[in-house]
Structure 1
Amino acid sequence: MKTKLYLILMLYHAFTFAQNITLQTVATGFSNPVAIENAGDPRLFVVEQGGTIKIINADGSVAATPFLNLASLISSDGERGLLGLAFHPNYSTNGYFFVNYTNPAGNTVIARYTVSAGNTNVANPSSAQVLLTITQPFSNHNGGTLRFGPDGYLYIGMGDGGSGGDPGNRAQNIETLLGKMLRIDVNSGTPYAIPPTNPFAGATAGADEIWAIGLRNPWKFSFNRTTGDLWIADVGQGAVEEINKVSPTAAGLNYGWNCYEGSSIYTAGCAQPTTTYTFPFAEYTHTATGGCSITGGYVYTGTTYPLLANKYIFADYCSNKIGLVSPDGTIAYTPAFGGNNFSTFGEDATGELYIAGISSGTVYKITDSTLSNAEYTTENISLYPNPAEGEVFLTTHNLDMPINLVVSDLNGKQVAQEQLLTNNSRIDTSLLSKGVYILTLESAIGTRSTHKLVIQ
C-alpha cells in the first residue's frame, strides 16, 4: 500500500553552505556543560561547571553515576568551576586523565586523576595529584582548556587574570603564567618536567612553562588531528573575537594582547617595534555579527560529512550562530540556534563533532544536511535535514520542471510518488516509518538522480 506524501510548496531564500549545518540531539539534562571529551572509545565525557563529569554511552544514554565529582573542591561562580578535561594519550593503559578547575580561593589547579581499577566508568577520587596551582587575581578570564599536543606534551590555556583590559599587563609579562599558553611534560619530573624546546626553558628571564604569550582568554583551543596545527579561539575585550592558527612547532609566539585586540590596536603605544606579533588567521566584530564571546571548536577531520572537511567550526556564546572558517580564512555563518549559549564543542574518537550550550544543557551532534555527499553540489540538488523527522526541504537549481518524485524503500518497493512543480518544496514525511529510503527524481527532459533519505 502506498503512503501519500503531502507536499506543501513554499518559497524560501537559498541557504549558503554554512546554513546546511544541522544539530542532532544526543543527550539532554546537563547543568552548565563546559567541555566534551573522548577517551579513545565510543563514550563522550561531559564536564559540568559545577564539578561533575558525566558519561554519554554509545547508545546515547547517560550513565547514572558520574565519572567523577569534584564539587567539594571547587568554586563555581561566574567563570569559575571545573573547566577542562584531557585524557592521557596512553589512557587505555595508564588510566591517567587531567582536569583544570578553580579551587575555593579562586585559583587555577591542574591535577591528575586515575580511572578506577575495576570500573572504567568511574574514576578514583582518591588518586588526585596536583601538578600546578596558579594564583588568579580576579574571578574571570580563567581559560580552562587542556589538550595533549601531537608532541605528547600537555598544553594549558590561561587567561590574563581577569578584570577588563588586563590592568596588570600580565599577558605581555613573561614572568607570570597568566595570559599564556603553557606546555609541560607530564611523563617526566616531579610533578612534571619542562620540555627543552619551551622558549624560556633554562633561561634567566621568563617562566619555563610558557609556550606562547599575549592571550586574553583562550577559552577553547584544539589541534587538527590530521596536520597537528594549533587553533586558538581567544575571547575579545569588547569589539573583536579572534581565531589563531599556527604550526604546532612554533614556540614563543606573541598573540598581541593587550597591545592588540585581534588585529586592531587596543592600547596605544603598547606595541614594541622590536617585537613580532602573531595576528589572527580569522576574526569577526561584535557589531557585524551580534556576537560577544567566541567558543572555539575543531577542524572537521571525520569522514561522515566530506563537505565539512578542512573547515574550522566554532560558535559564539551570544549570537548562537555557528561559524565555519575555510582554508583561506573566510568565515560563513549559520542562522542562530536560539536558546543555547554555546559553551563548548567536542570531538569523538572518529573525528565527528559535537556542541553544547549552557542554557539548553543539551549535547548535539553537528551534521551536514546535504547527505554527506558532494552530489548535491554537482547535481544542483539540496535535500535537508537528513536524517529527518517530520519534514524535509528539497531545492533544485536550473532543472526543468515538472519533476517526478518517487520514494522507495531499500527493497525497491515504491511507497510514494508526487509531481513537483517548483524548485523549492517542503515535503511532509510524518507518515513515513523510521528507516532508510531512496528518492528518485526525474526531470521533464528525462534527467534522473537518486538520493538517500533517512527518517528517524
Structure 2
Amino acid sequence: MKKIISSIIISAFTLGSYGLSPAPQTVYVGYGTWGSPYYSFYSDSNGNNPINLAEYEFYHGTQYTFTKILGTQHPFFISDIPDFDGSYHMGYLSTNIVVTHPGTVSRISGITLNTGSLTFNMNAGYTNNLYYYCTRSGHASMVKVFNTSPPHVSQNQLIITEISPADDLVEVTYFDNKSAILPRDFYFVVDGLSSSFIPEGTIFTAGESKTFSVNLSNSGSIWLYSTQNGANNATYEPMMCGLAYGTTQPTGDIHSTNAYEKLLWKDPEAFAYFSGASNSLRLVAFDATNPDFWLESSSDLNSFYDEQVVSDLHPDILIGDVKIGLNLVTDGVNHPIGIVDPNDDSGRLFVLQQTGEILSVDSDYNLNTNPILDISDELVSLFSFPGYDERGLLGFAFHPNYLDNNKFYYYASYPVGGSPDYSFPVGYDGGENVVIDHHSVVIEETYVDNNLNGVFDQGDSVTNRRELIRFEQPLSENFPVIGSNHNGGNLSFDSNGYLLIAVGDGGDANDTGNGHGVIGTGADPSNIWGSILRIDPDGTNSINGAYGIPADNPFINEIDKLDEIYAYGFRNPWNPSADPVSGIIYSTDSGQNNVQEINRVEWGKFHGWRAKEGSYLFDTLSGNNGTINNPINLENEVLPIAEYDHDQGYANIIGGHVYRGTAIPELQGAYICGDYGAFFGWSGTLLYYQLDGTIKELYIGASNRDLNCDVRAISKDASGELYLSGNGGTNHFIYKIVPLVDLSLEEISDQMHVTIIGDEGSTLSLIEMNSLDSDASSSTNVLNSGGGIIRSINTSGFFKGIAE
C-alpha cells in the first residue's frame, strides 16, 4: 500500500514581494500640496503612519474607503472618465465603478475634513484608468493616477489539476471566486529542471482552467515554482504545487535537492500512481494535497470546474405525515447528553450529563439527583464562556453481558496526562508540533453490588477501572474559547458485541490547522481521528493489550492503516448505532458549512470527508461546495444515503436510531434523528429517514409546535422506544417520544381500564360512545397523558382518543 502523503507543497512567502503591495482598504487623506503626489496619505486615523500611494496597488473587486483627516482647502475626489477637455480633473465616473459618499460631496465638491468619506469598488474586469484629484476649479494640475489591477493570484490557489503525458499538456486551475493576475512568471519544473512557464500578467478568471505545453514523460515529477529552476536554485524558492507520478515510487527527496526549512510541508514520497495506459492523470477532488485523489482518465483538459460554487444544494425538507407527541421525563438535569437503559427490570433509565454525572430516573419519571457515577472532578474544565462545549462525558454503554459481569464503558475528556496510545508525531503539522488541548479516554469499570439489591444504584461502588484507549485532541485555533471541537464520543455495541467508538476529525475548520497535517485526518486511515473504531473490550491483541481487534476488521495487518478502524472519512460522527434487526450501522456526520448527512456505515469504506461535504466536492481553501466536469468516483468511497442543507435554518445533524419500538407503528424501520438548531436558539428539529430515501420533519403535537430545546441526543430504551435530550435557555430537558394520541385497554379485576397516551403539549380527550352511529350519544373526558377511565367489564361501548 502506498503511503498517505502530500502532493502539494505550500510555501510561506507573500505575493507583495513581487512588486507593488496590496493597498490598505482604508486610506486616510491629509493636507493637499502643489507637488506630486498632491496629498499626504496615512494608514491610520491619527496621521502617524504616512504611506506612498505609488507603492500600492488597488485591486478590482475590493472595496476601498478614503477619509479626509486634515485640511479643508483641497477637497478630494476620483474619476475614471475625462472631462470634455481630456483632463481627469473634474472628470466623471463610469458604471464600472461603484462609488458611495455623502450627498453634499460630488465631482466639484469632494470630501474635506468635515464632509465624511468616499468609498469605491471597481467591478471585476475593470479596464479604465482611475484618478484622484482636487476639486478646486483652479487646481487642475492636482491629478494623479491610481495603480489598479485585478488582484494577484493567491499562491496556494493556483493548482495543477491534470497532466497529459501523451499530449505534453498540463492543466492549471485557479481555486478562487474572483479573477486575479499573475504578478510574475511562474515556472513548471519537470524532473528538477525548468521546462516552460506561465507568463507574468496572465489573468485567471474565477475558477478558470488553462492548459500549457510542457515536455512530460509517463513517469517523473512536475512542480510549479515562482522562480526559474525551482529546486535546483541555490536559494530558497517558493513552490506552488506539484506531484510525482509513475509506476514506481521514487526514492529520495523528489521535489528538492536542498534543505527547505521554510516549507510548511516536505515529504520525500509525495507520489501518485500512473500506469500511462490512459491519456491523463486527473485531480478528481478539490483537495489536491492527497495523492489518492489523482486518478487515471481520458483527457479532460481546459475545464476542471463544472460549478465552482453550488448555491442551492438540496430542496427543502418537507413536513412528514407522521405525527408524534412528547412526554416530559425530567427538566431537572444539566446538559444532558442522552439516556441509556440498564435493562435490569428496575424500570430505571440512566441520564448522562456532559458535566460528568450519571443520574437515574425511575419508571414514574422521578429523578434521583444523587449521581450513580460522578467523574466531574476528573474532567477537563468545561462550559466557560460562551457556555458551549464539545468536551466532557460524551458516551456511555453497558457491556452486552452487563447483567452477568457488571461492566460498563464511558468516553470522556481528560486533562493532558499519562501516556496516550495515539499521539501526533513530532512535526506532523507541517513541521510544527501539535498543540494539545486534552486527551479523549475510553474507560471500563465494574460495579460492585454493595447493597445486594441486584441493580447498579447509588448504594454501590465501582472497581477495576482500566483505560482501554487514550488519544490526544488538538487545541482549536479558530475556536480556542471552547478548547477543542469535533471530539465525537458516542459509544455503542454492534450486533456482534463489539464496541463502536465515534472519533471526530480533531476540530477547527475544513479539517485543516493545528493537528490536521497536510491531507487532513478524515481521509487518512493511518491515524485514529475522523473514524469509527470497532474493538473487542474483552480481547487483548491490541498494541497496548487493553482490548482486542476483531478478526474481521477491514484493515487487519495493513501497513499505515489502523487495525481499529471500521470506517473512516468523517468530520464529527455522532451516535453510530446498529439496527437491532438488520445489524446495519448508521451514523450521521456533521457538515462543515452547508451539508448534513446520514450514512450507512460500510466496512472499510471512505465516507468522504474532507474531499466531500455530503455528496458535493469540498474546497478546503474557500469552504465552498462545487462539482467538476466528468466526475470520477474516489477510491473506496461511499456516499451518504441522505443529506440536507441549511436553507431552512438547520445547523447540525444529531444521530439517532432505527425505530424498532411498538408505540408508533408508522415509524417502524425508519431512522430517527434530529437537527441541533441554531446555536443558542433553543429550538431544534426532529427528523426521520425512510427507505424511500427521503428525510422529513416529524409533526409534533396537534399543531406541529416548535421544540423548546435544541436536539442534543436521540436515545432508546430496551424496548426500542425513543427519547430526546436537549438544552433550553435556562432548563434542560429529556422527553419521551410517544404517539400523538393512543388508547390502551387493560382488564384488571373484572374492570376495564381505558388509558390515553399522547402529547402533553396538546389537549387530549377520551371520548366514550354507546355506538358508532353519527347521532350516538357520547361523553368527553379531557385528560393528561397517562390518565384514563374505568368501566365495568360488562359495559358495552366504544372509545376514541383525539389530540387538539
Scaled by the length of structure 2, the TM-score of the pair is 0.46
The Cα of 1:339 is off from its aligned counterpart by 2.7
Contact between 2:511 and 2:521, CA under 8 Å: does it hold in 1? yes
The Cα of 1:337 is off from its aligned counterpart by 3.0
Equivalent residue number for residue 742 of structure 2 = 371
1:262 aligns with 2:614: yes
In 2 relative to 1, CA 432–154 (structure 1 residues): closer, same or farther, beyond 3 Å?
closer
Equivalent residue number for residue 134 of structure 1 = 471
The letter for the 2-side match of 1:146 is L
In 2 relative to 1, CA 57–174 (structure 1 residues): closer, same or farther, beyond 3 Å?
same
Equivalent residue number for residue 63 of structure 1 = 368
Partner of 1:322, secondary structure, is: strand
Give me the whole-angstrom Cα distance separating, in 1, the residues matched to 2:565 and 2:743: 41
217-226 or 254-263, which moves further after superposition?
217-226
- Residue deviations 1:5-35, cap 9 Å, x none? xxxxxxxxxx8423x1111111221100012
Mapping of 1:312-391 within 5 angstroms? 312-318=671-677, 320-333=684-697, 334=699, 335=704, 337-359=706-728, 360-371=731-742, 386=758, 391=763
Contact between 2:397 and 2:493, CA under 8 Å: does it hold in 1? yes
Mapping of 1:367-446 within 5 angstroms? 367-371=738-742, 386=758, 391-392=763-764, 403-404=774-775, 406-407=777-778, 415-416=779-780, 429=782, 434-436=787-789
The Cα of 1:436 is off from its aligned counterpart by 4.0
Greater Cα radius of gyration, structure 1 or 2: 2
In 2 relative to 1, CA 385–434 (structure 1 residues): closer, same or farther, beyond 3 Å?
closer
- Residue deviations 1:146-178, cap 9 Å, x none? 011001110100000000110121011111100
Equivalent residue number for residue 148 of structure 1 = 493
Give me the whole-angstrom Cα distance separating, in 2, the residues matched to 1:292 and 1:239: 8
Give me the whole-angstrom Cα distance separating, in 1, the residues matched to 2:774 and 2:536: 62
Contact between 1:56 and 1:63, CA under 8 Å: does it hold in 2? yes
Return structure 1 stretches of 4+ with deviation > 6 angstroms: 268-272, 430-433
Mapping of 1:78-89 within 5 angstroms? 78-89=389-400
The Cα of 1:216 is off from its aligned counterpart by 0.4
In 2 relative to 1, CA 404–356 (structure 1 residues): closer, same or farther, beyond 3 Å?
farther
1:301 aligns with 2:660: yes
Equivalent residue number for residue 453 of structure 1 = 801
- Residue deviations 1:267-315, cap 9 Å, x none? 389998560311111111111x311011111111011221221111111
In 2 relative to 1, CA 433–340 (structure 1 residues): closer, same or farther, beyond 3 Å?
closer
In 2 relative to 1, CA 368–108 (structure 1 residues): closer, same or farther, beyond 3 Å?
same
Scaled by the length of structure 1, the TM-score of the pair is 0.79
Match of 1:21 among 324, 327, 346: 324
Contact between 2:659 and 2:668, CA under 8 Å: does it hold in 1? yes
In 2 relative to 1, CA 301–130 (structure 1 residues): closer, same or farther, beyond 3 Å?
same
The letter for the 1-side match of 2:498 is Y
Contact between 1:437 and 1:452, CA under 8 Å: does it hold in 2? no
Partner of 2:403, secondary structure, is: helix
Mapping of 1:1-400 within 5 angstroms? 16-18=320-322, 20-41=323-344, 42-75=347-380, 76-77=382-383, 78-105=389-416, 106-119=438-451, 120-122=456-458, 124-138=461-475, 139-167=484-512, 168=516, 169-189=520-540, 190-246=545-601, 250-267=602-619, 275-287=635-647, 289-318=648-677, 320-333=684-697, 334=699, 335=704, 337-359=706-728, 360-371=731-742, 386=758, 391-392=763-764
Give me the whole-angstrom Cα distance separating, in 2, the residues matched to 1:164 and 1:156: 22
Contact between 1:144 and 1:157, CA under 8 Å: does it hold in 2? yes
Give me the whole-angstrom Cα distance separating, in 2, the residues matched to 1:453 and 1:387: 12
The letter for the 1-side match of 2:706 is F
Give me the whole-angstrom Cα distance separating, in 1, the residues matched to 2:342 and 2:785: 37
- Residue deviations 1:38-87, cap 9 Å, x none? 12233211110110011111221122421100011112341110000000
- Residue deviations 1:118-171, cap 9 Å, x none? 242146344321110111113000001001100111010000000011012101
The Cα of 1:207 is off from its aligned counterpart by 1.2
Give me the whole-angstrom Cα distance separating, in 2, the residues matched to 1:405 and 1:50: 57
Contact between 1:306 and 1:372, CA under 8 Å: does it hold in 2? no
Contact between 1:437 and 1:453, CA under 8 Å: does it hold in 2? no
Contact between 1:321 and 1:336, CA under 8 Å: does it hold in 2? no
Give me the whole-angstrom Cα distance separating, in 1, the residues matched to 2:590 and 2:684: 15
The Cα of 1:238 is off from its aligned counterpart by 1.1
In 2 relative to 1, CA 430–235 (structure 1 residues): closer, same or farther, beyond 3 Å?
same
Unaligned runs of 5+ in 1: 1-14, 374-383, 395-401, 408-414, 417-427, 439-448
Partner of 2:404, secondary structure, is: helix
- Residue deviations 1:326-380, cap 9 Å, x none? 111212213463331110111111111111102241111101215389xxxxxxx
The Cα of 1:386 is off from its aligned counterpart by 3.0
Partner of 1:67, secondary structure, is: strand
Give me the whole-angstrom Cα distance separating, in 1, the residues matched to 2:397 and 2:760: 34
Q: How many residues align?
A: 391
Contact between 1:389 and 1:429, CA under 8 Å: does it hold in 2? no
The letter for the 2-side match of 1:355 is L
In 2 relative to 1, CA 16–203 (structure 1 residues): closer, same or farther, beyond 3 Å?
closer
The Cα of 1:393 is off from its aligned counterpart by 8.1
In 2 relative to 1, CA 336–116 (structure 1 residues): closer, same or farther, beyond 3 Å?
farther
Give me the whole-angstrom Cα distance separating, in 2, the residues matched to 1:242 and 1:432: 35
In 2 relative to 1, CA 450–281 (structure 1 residues): closer, same or farther, beyond 3 Å?
farther
Partner of 1:40, secondary structure, is: coil
The letter for the 2-side match of 1:17 is D
Partner of 1:136, secondary structure, is: strand
Give me the whole-angstrom Cα distance separating, in 2, the residues matched to 1:44 and 1:432: 20
The letter for the 1-side match of 2:440 is T
The letter for the 1-side match of 2:402 is Y
Partner of 1:196, secondary structure, is: coil
Contact between 1:307 and 1:372, CA under 8 Å: does it hold in 2? no
In 2 relative to 1, CA 309–266 (structure 1 residues): closer, same or farther, beyond 3 Å?
same
Give me the whole-angstrom Cα distance separating, in 1, the residues matched to 2:724 and 2:743: 19
Unaligned runs of 5+ in 2: 1-318, 384-388, 417-437, 476-483, 620-625, 678-682, 745-755, 767-772, 792-796
Give me the whole-angstrom Cα distance separating, in 1, the residues matched to 2:408 and 2:598: 27
In 2 relative to 1, CA 390–322 (structure 1 residues): closer, same or farther, beyond 3 Å?
closer
The letter for the 1-side match of 2:788 is G
